[in-house]
Chain A
Amino acid sequence: MNFEFSEEQLMIQQAARDYAQRELIKDVIERDNHAIFPTQHVKALAELGFMGMMVSPDYDGGGMDAISYVLAVEELSKVDASASVIVSVNNSLVCYGLEKYGNEAQKQKYLRPLASGNKIGAFLLSEPEAGSDATSQRTTAEDKGDYYLVNGTKNWITNANSASTYILIAQTNPSKKHKGITALIVEKDSPGITLGPHEDKMGMRSSDTHSVMFNDVKVPKVNRIGEEGFGFTFAMKVLEGGRIGIASQAVGLASGALERATAYAKERKAFGTVIANHQAIAFKLADMAVKVENARNLCLKAAWLKDQGKPYGIASAMAKVYAADIAMEVTTEAVQIHGGYGYVKEYHVERLMREAKLTQIYEGTSEVQKIIISRDLIK
């Protein structure tokens, strides 16, 4: 066993930390208040290579491992989880899916600009009546010879408006149920695609979330990823990696809140001494630190398994459910330690708490992660 990071991994962690602490922090509250998409930051993050950091350099990616990815997403999320979810979706759902399962032509045409960050991608799985139950896809892709005709609605789509490339999961053969589901690459400006209004969310307010409506949208057959019927397996495989990204985001929210709470507790005085000297606060900080450490280790374990080419689906489910739950706990305690100051926006921790809630819901709810883990136990 080796718990040491490599020189390169540490350099990437530091690069992400520098960008977050120097740049993202400047306007994070304003973007949250007014739900402004971080266009300039995404451009800068792309130039630094964070938008396709695990993609091979052959396709304009950063060629880094999943451990580096965990470290980078944590650092970005300490400051701005909206920015980190844009990074996470592009990396682990869109780029990973295309690199692993796309054909060479698809990689040349679609993966390259996504990995370099010149374009952004979105992953379209959830539907108004198919969230956790992803098998019940109602969006249809009807075989019309050399193209599919797509109709239906997708919900809660991260990057829906800013993305140029969609990875769409749709039903091509309803009689086969989830075995009739297919994955397609769809260009956002295809005729027949309309977006619902920008969702007015509780947190992650600067990432753009919309529903996407498909009305007789023609998608060339060459844009199908793998065979017909491969879509459900594709989605589940891609989400295994996606969970590492969201779990790391949850770790970042928690560790960011812990850092702020610790700094505050060392400064704020009550009853004649800094509040960190009061056991009630000191023990809270200790509990928070143990949880953050545990969650981070679960993420790193899942990432390590992925880097080794070993199965990581259960490890990433464990990382996600635990990290999301402790992110909620730790950010809530951070607000408590800050007292009244924690409840105002200037001190950041209330935002981290609002954002932490989403990590228990998206890319597989905590309950879905427990289904995955328990089914593996009792199989």
Chain B
Amino acid sequence: MKILVLIGNVPDTTTKIKFNADKTMFDATGVQWIINPWDELALTRAMELKETAGSGIETITVANVGHQETEATLRKALAIGADKAIRVDADAKDAFYVASQLALVSQGYDLIFAGVEASDYNGAAVGGMLAELLGIQSVSSVSGLQIDGGLVKITREIEGGSQALSVAAPVMAIVQKGIAKEPRIPAMRGIMMARSKPLEVVQPSETEIRMSFEAFDLPPAKAACKKFTEEQAKELIHALREEAKVL
């Protein structure tokens, strides 16, 4: 069995978000990039599966769409334990574009992991689109996954409970929190071994860009608190009615 884990390159989750002057682009100056947290959990689960005796998993490949500077993220995935990495050499422009590029390198896998969304643009679209392009089954909201013979046993969260599924490979598992406990920290040995693991660079296909960003806005700043004393009940009612408009 061969596993592919899609790896997003996203700003560190503690990054202070800024945009360029005309608010059409994220300002990446000084940003530290990390593996998308959901993808990192997916990779952790893939590693756990590979290490389980009798799981029959031969290789774990990781893939992303991005320029050379995103290789640090792939290299970290290799240090954590992936066997091979593929980078499609293009800007990750929009979900359809990314899914189309990934379709070039996603053939022949039995199990593909995608994080539920990327922690930067929260698109939550690539996994589903890629499964469509590949013509394979996809399962969303996956919070547990086991391999049992040739079948993929999945637990997914549904309203008010959970659901257990059995899916024949190939399958795309779109995972969320719970798929693995904690992401793995790469060990020194893994970091050393990552030096010699293959990282293949693939040229992108011609794909139409169907979406452009018009504007970004930061959430409105929290309004300052207004305090009223016990004697100011009338003023409070007035403020609730006229300013907050909640009465």
- With both chains docked as a complex, state the minimum distance between the C-beta of A110 and any C-beta of chain B, in angstroms: 20
A62 touches B72 (CB 8 A): no
Stretch binding the partner chain, chosen from B1-9, B20-28, B105-113, B179-187: B179-187
CA of A64 to CA of B195, assembled, Å: 12
B188 touches A19 (CB 8 A): no
Q: Which residues of B contact A47 (CB under 8 A)?
A: 187
A8, A12, A50, A57 interface centre (most CB from chain B within 10 Å):
A8
Interface residues in B46-75 (C-beta closer than 8 Å to A): 71-72, 75
Q: Which residues of A contact B76 (CB under 8 A)?
A: 11, 14
Residues of B within 8 Å of A, CB-based: how many?
Answer: 14
A48 touches B188 (CB 8 A): yes
Q: Which residues of B contact A48 (CB under 8 A)?
A: 185-188
Q: Chain A: interface residue count, which band?
A: 10 to 19
0/1 string, A1-45, CB within 8 A of B gives 1: 000000110111011001100100000000000000000000000
Which of A8, A18, A19, A22 is within 8 Å of B191, CB to CB? A8
Q: Known: A7-B72, A7-B75. Contact between A18 and B185, CB under 8 A? A: yes
A15 touches B72 (CB 8 A): no
| A192 contacts the other chain (CB 8 A) | no
Q: Known: A7-B72, A10-B72, A11-B76. Contact between A63 and B192, CB under 8 A? A: yes
0/1 string, B67-92, CB within 8 A of A gives 1: 00001100110010000000000000
- With both chains docked as a complex, state the minimum distance between the C-beta of A256 and any C-beta of chain B, in angstroms: 16
| A53 contacts the other chain (CB 8 A) | yes
Q: Which residues of B contact A196 (CB under 8 A)?
A: none
Q: Which residues of B contact A220 (CB under 8 A)?
A: none
Interface residues in A135-156 (C-beta closer than 8 Å to B): none
B182 touches A62 (CB 8 A): no
| A226 contacts the other chain (CB 8 A) | no
Q: Known: A7-B72, A7-B75, A10-B72. Contact between A15 and B185, CB under 8 A? A: yes
A15 touches B192 (CB 8 A): no
Q: Which residues of B contact A57 (CB under 8 A)?
A: 189, 192
CA of A62 to CA of B79, assembled, Å: 13
B72 touches A50 (CB 8 A): no
| A49 contacts the other chain (CB 8 A) | yes
CA of A22 to CA of B185, assembled, Å: 10
- With both chains docked as a complex, state the minimum distance between the C-beta of B85 and any C-beta of chain A, in angstroms: 13
- With both chains docked as a complex, state the minimum distance between the C-beta of B79 and any C-beta of chain A, in angstroms: 6
Q: Which residues of A contact B188 (CB under 8 A)?
A: 12, 48-50, 53, 62-64
- With both chains docked as a complex, state the minimum distance between the C-beta of A163 and any C-beta of chain B, in angstroms: 21
B75 touches A11 (CB 8 A): yes
A12 touches B191 (CB 8 A): yes
- With both chains docked as a complex, state the minimum distance between the C-beta of A46 and any C-beta of chain B, in angstroms: 10
CA of A12 to CA of B185, assembled, Å: 10
Q: Which residues of A contact B75 (CB under 8 A)?
A: 7, 11
- With both chains docked as a complex, state the minimum distance between the C-beta of A270 and any C-beta of chain B, in angstroms: 16
A11 touches B191 (CB 8 A): yes
Q: Which residues of B contact A8 (CB under 8 A)?
A: 191, 195
Interface residues in B157-189 (C-beta closer than 8 Å to A): 182, 185-189
Q: Which residues of B contact A15 (CB under 8 A)?
A: 185-187, 191
CA of A15 to CA of B35, assembled, Å: 13
CA of A10 to CA of B192, assembled, Å: 13
- With both chains docked as a complex, state the minimum distance between the C-beta of B9 and any C-beta of chain A, in angstroms: 13
B185 touches A19 (CB 8 A): yes
CA of A8 to CA of B191, assembled, Å: 7
0/1 string, B183-207, CB within 8 A of A gives 1: 0011111011001000000000000
CA of A294 to CA of B62, assembled, Å: 39
CA of A18 to CA of B79, assembled, Å: 15
B186, B187, B188, B189 interface centre (most CB from chain A within 10 Å):
B188
0/1 string, A77-115, CB within 8 A of B gives 1: 000000000000000000000000000000000000000
Which of A14, A19, A22, A49 is within 8 Å of B189, CB to CB? A49
B72 touches A49 (CB 8 A): no
CA of A18 to CA of B40, assembled, Å: 13
CA of A12 to CA of B76, assembled, Å: 10
CA of A14 to CA of B76, assembled, Å: 10
B192 touches A62 (CB 8 A): yes
0/1 string, A51-63, CB within 8 A of B gives 1: 0010001000011
CA of A7 to CA of B182, assembled, Å: 23
B75, B192, B195 interface centre (most CB from chain A within 10 Å):
B192
CA of A227 to CA of B182, assembled, Å: 50
CA of A49 to CA of B185, assembled, Å: 11
B186 touches A11 (CB 8 A): yes
Q: Which residues of B contact A22 (CB under 8 A)?
A: 182, 185
- With both chains docked as a complex, state the minimum distance between the C-beta of A50 and any C-beta of chain B, in angstroms: 7
CA of A53 to CA of B189, assembled, Å: 9
Q: Which residues of A contact B192 (CB under 8 A)?
A: 57, 62-64
Q: Known: A11-B76, A11-B79. Contact between A49 and B182, CB under 8 A? A: no
Closest 3 CB pairs of A and B: A49-B188, A62-B188, A48-B187
26 sampled A-B residue pairs with Cβ under 8 A? A7-B71, A7-B72, A7-B75, A8-B195, A10-B72, A11-B72, A11-B75, A11-B76, A11-B79, A11-B186, A11-B191, A12-B191, A15-B186, A15-B187, A15-B191, A18-B185, A22-B182, A48-B188, A49-B188, A49-B189, A57-B189, A62-B189, A62-B192, A63-B192, A64-B188, A64-B191
Known: A11-B186, A12-B191. 6 other contacts (CB 8 A): A11-B75, A15-B185, A49-B188, A49-B189, A62-B189, A64-B191
